[in-house]
């Protein structure tokens, strides 16, 4: 089968590999769509934590079932799946948090992913397609990341939510913060992405810290209160450290983005606000179901995120260009 392997940072190679063997409790999928995400881009750059090479990337997937033993699922059914494979016995799993399992294996990160024609996944990870298109199903996972971050933050009606980073994860975070009733503020240094937030997501307020005093603008937008929720979706150490100053007294700061370095902040400033700092890792089945339900009800129109579309054979030639803001890429979608 056709396979694309990230052999080292900045290097892809196509290979002809064998179709994986299906064992008990497994499902064989024929891959139909592959969404390109920040994790894939960072892996290609060599900046992704928890990563070894060579690796087959890809975990934002839509597929058709070829073989399965999963109750309630059928051959030929369009599905997506939860790409965070868990042990079921560690402390996190026992607490109902398999998204941060102590021995988690994320498809396309810790183990080989879906940039190939066929993929075997645990049958427990399957998610019904519910009549959604392949494009929509491939976007469920990144949206679930944002939905989980919003749920971690406990966003409530009419509170100001600052989302830092207007890439695909940030856009999904904004969507679900809005659905939760929050007043969303988008922050990014890419003016094109901020315009996308205004035009496509109806975000009422945007901030570009490269062009304006971000603190003063946020202070004006929030009538002096500052945002009670700040969510980072950049994975930029500079952006993460800088955003502590934007947090309201009593506020919550959620890190959805990920990077390799150490976070630093002023302890007295953090302490006097009685701030809450938390990470948000992956997503749960509850988040996947919330995303699919929101799509079906028309609350989210994720296909508007797709700015670039290529065939599988074209990925190697185009992938590096998606690292550059000048290409205007928001979401690249690969068709098998």
Kindly state which CATH superfamily the domain 146-279 is placed in.
NAD(P)-binding Rossmann-like Domain (3.40.50.720)
Please check the confidence at residue 50 and state whether its pLDDT lies above 80.
Answer: no
Confidence of residue 46 (pLDDT cuts 50, 70, 90): confident
Residue 42's pLDDT is what? 85
Residue 37 confidence (pLDDT) above 80: yes
Q: pLDDT tens for residues 158-194?
A: 999 999 999 999 999 999 999 999 999 999 999 999 9
Phi, psi of 125 (to 5 degrees): -85, -10
pLDDT of residue 259: 81
Give yes or no for a contact between 68 and 126, defined as CB atoms under 8 angstroms apart: yes
Phi then psi for residue 33, to 5 deg, are -140, 145
Could you give the percent of the chain with pLDDT greater than 90?
89
Query: What's the pLDDT at 183?
Result: 98
Is pTM beyond 0.85 here?
yes
Q: Tell me the pLDDT tens digit for each residue of 268-296.
A: 999 999 999 999 999 999 999 999 999 99
Mean pLDDT, residues 198-202 taken together: 92
Please report the DSSP string for 223-243 in residue order.
Answer: TTS--SEEEE-S--HHHHHHG
Given pLDDT bands bounded at 50, 70 and 90, which one contains residue 326? Answer: confident
Cα–Cα distance for residue pair 318/306, rounded to 1 Å: 15
Q: What is the pLDDT of residue 157?
A: 97
**Topology alike, domains 2-138+301-335 and 146-279:** no
- The CATH number of 2-138+301-335, from 1.20.1050.140, 3.40.640.10, 3.90.180.10, 2.60.40.10, is 3.90.180.10
Instruction: Give the model's confidence band at 38: pLDDT under 50 very low, under 70 low, under 90 confident, else very high.
Output: confident
Q: What is the pLDDT of residue 235?
A: 84
Domain-wise residue ranges, the chain:
2-138+301-335, 146-279
């Amino acid at each position: 089968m056709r396979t694309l392997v990230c052999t080292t940072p900045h290097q892809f190679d196509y290979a002809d590999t064998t179709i994986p063997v299906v064992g008990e409790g497994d499902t064989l999928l024929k891959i139909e769509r592959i969404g390109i995400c920040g994790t894939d881009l960072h892996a290609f750059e060599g900046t992704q934590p928890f990563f070894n090479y060579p690796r087959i990337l890809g975990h934002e997937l839509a597929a058709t079932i070829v073989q399965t033993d999963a109750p309630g699922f059928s051959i030929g059914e369009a599905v997506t799946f939860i790409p965070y494979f868990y042990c079921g016995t560690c402390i996190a799993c026992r607490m109902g948090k398999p998204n941060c399992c102590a021995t988690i294996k994320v498809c396309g990160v810790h183990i080989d992913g879906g940039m190939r024609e066929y993929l075997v996944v645990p049958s427990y990870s399957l998610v019904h397609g519910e009549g959604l298109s392949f494009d929509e199903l491939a976007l469920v996972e990144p949206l679930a990341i944002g939905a989980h971050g919003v749920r971690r933050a406990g966003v409530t009606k009419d509170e100001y939510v600052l989302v830092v980073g207007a890439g695909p994860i940030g856009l999904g975070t904004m969507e679900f913060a809005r659905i939760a009733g929050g007043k969303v503020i988008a922050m990014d240094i890419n003016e094109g992405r901020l315009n996308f937030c205004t035009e496509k997501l109806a975000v009422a307020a945007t901030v570009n810290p490269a062009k304006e005093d971000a603190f003063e603008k946020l202070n004006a937008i929030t009538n002096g209160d500052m945002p009670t929720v700040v969510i980072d979706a950049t994975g930029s150490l500079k952006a993460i450290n800088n955003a502590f100053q934007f947090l309201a007294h009593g506020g919550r700061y959620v890190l959805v983005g990920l990077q390799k370095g150490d976070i630093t902040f002023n302890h007295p400033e953090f302490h006097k606000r009685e701030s809450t700092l938390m990470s948000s890792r992956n997503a749960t089945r509850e988040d996947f179901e919330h995303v699919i339900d929101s799509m079906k009800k028309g609350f989210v129109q994720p296909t508007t995120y797709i700015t670039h579309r290529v065939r599988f054979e074209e990925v190697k030639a185009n992938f590096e260009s998606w690292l550059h803001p000048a290409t205007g890429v928001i979401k690249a979608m690969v068709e098998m």
